[in-house]
Amino acid sequence: MASSQPRKEELSGSSAHMCECRVTHNFFVRSVGMHFEYDGDDAEFQHRYGGQLVDGDGDALSSLAVAGILAEVREQRATRLQAPEESLARVQRIEQSYRRLHPEVYTIDPKAFLAESFLELVEVLRGCQTSLRGVSSSLEDLKSRGLLQEKRPGLWTFKVFTEAFCDLLETELANFAASGLPCTAPNTMNRHGVILAELGFYPGLLNPLVYEYVDVLAGQLLPDHTEGLDSYRAFTVLYDAAADGDRDLALHYDNAEVTLNVNIGGSWAGGQVAFYGLATEEESDTPAEISLQRGHGVLHAGLDMHKALPITSGRRHNLVIWCRSSRVRNQLCPMCFRQPCVLPTCKYFDEGFTVPPCRLACEQHSETGCKPNSCHSDDDLYTDEAD
């Protein structure tokens, strides 16, 4: 059930934090299709990965090739360390210089922006009895009426946005892209898209969408993965069959307890999203493949392993919201599978942890005597931040 959990910014401290693994784990190198860990120790990286890396024929990569991968990982880590400060600078410049084309799209208008079927879906689930029987019967009724589809257990699709909203949002984002103002890749795997917080979409549009609507759905449809949503990260991703476009996305799971992924535009062939099951369970041999119409979304657990299959023509534009529940992630970071050891950051890179109960990294290291980053797992589970 959805809870009355206060938002993270309403909790004591209200500071932004990210797990320390943000700057040590999950560096994705596209040329080899792998994720790496790196804490700044070049010798350790060479020792750990030098003998593991092979080319397409199964032959070990040369020391020069390994050095090239290390250089790319080193650059990614430097970028992550600088990212919060650079984000603040971008936001300031956007606030000062960007002229919004459609100011109305920054404030939610439920009747104009949200599909009628979505509003009914939320209201039915909001009004469900707390008993399992009441929820179950309501879900069966919603599915029989076509308001909700369950592709497999824990994988739900439904219509979210109206065509009018999708038009407004795409036009606004195109206007921003044409402005020439700075933006950055939405995550470490997708190269094309925008971080919506930096453009000012949170207060009037996305905060109510997540806390008043998505929280209800997450609590009823994925109750094992949330104890109330209280923070999130929202961005767009663009897949394009053009020469420099992102055509696919490697297998991964999200830095989220629950993810909502909605198509907002495009016409394309291929490009389905294939889901393989939770990262904590055995991978399915027969993935569930999802292809979304415009305005339709898929709601899934952040830990559900998935990848974007190659787009063969056209473009696909999606809005992705990583929804987070501090009561869940404060116990175990979903990216390194350890009790969170957190670092302060700016609000645009907040990962939804709260202090307390999480410990600051400097406190943890001073008490244990370990060097920074040595307390993290050695497991490599294809984790990253993408969709």
Domain-embedded: residue 138: yes
Domain-embedded: residue 53: no
pLDDT of residue 72: 95
pLDDT of residue 133: 60
Q: What is the mean pLDDT of each run of 10 residues along the chain (387 residues)?
A: 50 73 92 90 91 80 90 95 94 97 98 98 85 80 97 97 98 97 89 96 98 97 97 97 90 96 97 95 90 98 96 96 98 94 94 94 53 37 41
Domain-embedded: residue 90: no
Output the pTM of the full model.
0.87
Beta-bridge partners for 29: 34
271 near 291, Cβ under 8 Å? yes
323 near 257, Cβ under 8 Å? yes
Domain-embedded: residue 39: no
Domain-embedded: residue 76: no
Domain-embedded: residue 36: no
pLDDT of residue 384: 42
Specify the CATH number for the domain of residue 333: 2.60.120.620
Look up residue 260 and give its two tokens.
Answer: 């909502």
Domain-embedded: residue 278: yes
Look up residue 101 and give its two tokens.
Answer: 């084309």
> Domain count of the chain?
1
Domain-embedded: residue 367: yes
* 309: Cβ contacts below 8 Å, ≥ 6 apart: 248, 270, 271, 272, 273, 274, 289
pLDDT of residue 84: 93
Going by C-alpha positions, the residue among 263, 360, 362 that lies closest to residue 19 is 360
Segments forming the whole domain that contains residue 181: 2-22+101-382
